[in-house]
Amino acid sequence: MSLLDKSMPFLLVLTFVLIKFKPIACQPTYNGHYCLGLSNDTANSTFGSNLASLLDSLSSEAFLNNSFYKNGSNGIFGLFLCRGDVSSNSCQGCVENATQTLPSRCPSNREAIIWYDECMLHYSDANFFGVMATYPRTFMWNVQNNTSPNDPDVDARALMYNLAANVPYTSTMYEVHEFDRGNSSQQRYGLEQCSRDINSTQCKSCLADLTEYSQQCCEGKKGWRILSPSCNIRYEDYIFYQQQAASPQPYPQQAPSPLPYQQQAPSPQPVPSSSTDKDESGEIRYFDLPTILTATNKFADTNKLGEGGFGPVYKGKLLDGKEIAVKRLSMRSSQGIEEFKNEVMLIAKLQHRNLVRLLGCCLERGEKLLVYEYLANCSLDVFLFDPVKRSKLDWTKRAHIIRGIARGLMYLHEDSRLKIIHRDLKVSNVLLDDEMNPKISDFGTARIFEGNQIEANTNKIVGTYGYMAPEYAMEGLFSVKSDVYSFGVLLLEILSGRKCSSVFNNCDHGQSLVSSAWLLWNEEKGLELVDANLIGSCPRNEALRLIHISLLCVQEDPSFRPTMSTVVLMLGSESDLPHPKSPPFSIRKSF
């Protein structure tokens, strides 16, 4: 027997040991995941066994020192992508961790994706290879803001655009860059990477989309990252990758166009990041299109709840019996895509009992869908302006609704993590649950105010005429006080049961609702404004006080209007109120 023959059993055992006991890398850093394609028969089905086989093959390929691998067999497609600078051991450890944990995170789903600092894993029962996708996405930002708000950091945009121009044409579709201003404390670091199943044109488009999105999600932050199925980008003021992979870049003399970022202070140690793909109550869920189609009976007319400027809204029921409301972006809406992105970004960060709750969204096959909690009583206008249903809104319920709207608006302006101007507060954007609790909805045109910002200007007037403050309708100026004006109009509608565009013939020459309220109140005939259904049941002094508060809100000069916290205080007390100045009378224009 040869020496080789004698040593063969030992070699086989050694090979087994080396495979079984691979080098243990540090635990990968989890960033986020999405569970898609809900199914009731995933775990114990043929799909389950085929998935296990696919994940084993992906894990094995990572062990063979591959940083990217894709495989599609038995009707299941999967890939992993390791960050371009991580070591083989780190890549192996990350992929192995992902293949073990993702099925347990998404046990009833036929598609799932998970991101770590070191790698990404994605599998599906549909072939996604070669399809550029920027949704679902997750984004994270440093919990610290920039420290110099008066010095715009154009470096971020310059660095990320330079990377985006190079990455699609590199062999690994990965690149990192760094530069400084001649001062080591002012260095900036960027990373961009595409999944190698897409081509260079798709990679370029993916990176451009995420870079543009960074202006919305992460403005003014010391560091941030955005992760999607087809690409990811990251920007920091500390080094977060293996330095030998970096290619230093000279400081850009000219950014494509300034981004309103702020210059960052030195940060020698990594600062913890905060994920913003969640609201304060939990995760924002990504729904796949088949789930929505099943829930809404393929957007059947019988499921249609109504239609607004954004598009129609449908009632649906998920497999677990939960009822939902699905807002479907109108393909004809010129503002729809911007409104969609804006609404997801804003409402995902908000949680208040008087704001409608966003459950998730869907972007597939040209559809852009928002999924909300279902509110049985639809919107306030359905009751308020219907001669029969209006009787259900007695004085107690109307007062309760008024206070709830005021609290929700105060939260947006003063109590949330962000200062948000709604810009389209109106009776049809107030939804009612089964206990007639009001919830403000439709944040498609809302805007965030930063820091001490008190007003902004726009050439693009959006909203609903009749509720618009005069400075916004005529000059494009909006602030918390323009929302206060809208609240004042809404308050008058709730008290009178009439639309803001209604003409009151009991005043000389016929007047709008706001004008009539002013004239009747000055003539001490304020009760003539109150809905006839409430006469005899509403406390006289309380009704007059609410009219008084509404007139304070609709004063022409925004500086005289109260803040919403003051309005809430007025609604809950019997303190003396200042005398209101006149509202605007003569604005006649539609948008």
Same domain, 407 and 533: yes
CA–CA separation, 574 vs 579, rounded Å?
A: 15
Which of 276, 293, 311 corresponds to the end of one domain? 276
Q: What is the pLDDT of residues 180-232, one digit of tens each?
A: 655 556 688 899 999 999 999 999 999 988 988 887 788 778 889 999 999 99
Q: Which of 162, 167, 209, 215 is nearest to 192 (CA)?
A: 167
pLDDT, averaged across the chain:
79
Same domain, 481 and 350: no
Which residue's structure tokens are 């994706």? 113
pLDDT higher than 80, residue 92 = yes
Q: How confident is the model at residue 355 (pLDDT cuts 50, 70, 90)?
A: very high
pLDDT higher than 70, residue 5 = no
Task: For residue 186, tell me if it sits in a domain.
Answer: yes
Task: For residue 295, tell me if it sits in a domain.
Answer: yes
CA–CA separation, 355 vs 432, rounded Å?
A: 10
Task: For residue 130, tell me if it sits in a domain.
Answer: no
Task: Identify the H or E element spanning 121.
Answer: strand 119-124
CA–CA separation, 385 vs 261, rounded Å?
A: 46
Which of 57, 89, 124 corresponds to the end of one domain? 124
pTM, entire model: 0.54
Range of the domain at 120: 25-124
pLDDT higher than 60, residue 43 = no
Which of 73, 90, 124 corresponds to the end of one domain? 124
Among 258-267, 388-397, 439-448, 554-563, the minimum mean pLDDT is found in: 258-267
What CATH number did the domain enclosing 427 receive? Answer: 1.10.510.10
CA of residue 137 relative to chain centroid, distance = 11
What CATH number did the domain enclosing 30 receive? Answer: 3.30.430.20
| Catalytic annotation present for 155 | no
In the chain, the number of structural domains is 4
Same domain, 444 and 539: yes
Residues sharing a CB contact under 8 Å with residue 132, sequence separation 6 or more, in sequence order: 198, 202, 203, 205, 206, 230
Same domain, 182 and 245: yes
Task: For residue 549, tell me if it sits in a domain.
Answer: yes
Same domain, 216 and 246: yes
pLDDT higher than 90, residue 510 = no
Top mean pLDDT of 9-13, 254-258, 487-491 is at: 487-491
What is the SS3 assignment for 317? strand
The predicted model gives 442-452 an average pLDDT of 75
CB-CB neighbours of 224 under 10 Å: 22
Q: Which of 463, 465, 513 is nearest to 491 (CA)?
A: 513
Same domain, 52 and 117: yes
- Of the listed 85, 155, 424, 483, which one is catalytic? 424
The strand pair at 358-364 and 285-286 is best described as parallel
Same domain, 430 and 529: yes
Same domain, 495 and 433: yes
pLDDT higher than 90, residue 364 = no
The answer to whether 162 touches 191, Cβ cutoff 8 Å, is no
Same domain, 461 and 324: no
Task: For residue 392, tell me if it sits in a domain.
Answer: yes
pLDDT at 452: 65
Task: For residue 591, tell me if it sits in a domain.
Answer: no
Q: What is the pLDDT of residues 452-489, one digit of tens each?
A: 666 666 667 777 888 999 998 888 888 999 999 999 99
Task: For residue 12, tell me if it sits in a domain.
Answer: no
- Beta partners for residue 522, in sequence order: none
Same domain, 188 and 219: yes
The predicted model gives 155-173 an average pLDDT of 84
Q: What is the pLDDT of residues 102-148, one digit of tens each?
A: 999 999 889 999 999 999 999 999 999 999 999 899 888 876 666 44
Q: How confident is the model at residue 535 (pLDDT cuts 50, 70, 90)?
A: confident
Task: For residue 20, tell me if it sits in a domain.
Answer: no
What CATH number did the domain enclosing 291 receive? Answer: 3.30.200.20
Same domain, 245 and 320: no
Which residue's structure tokens are 């409104």? 339
Same domain, 78 and 50: yes
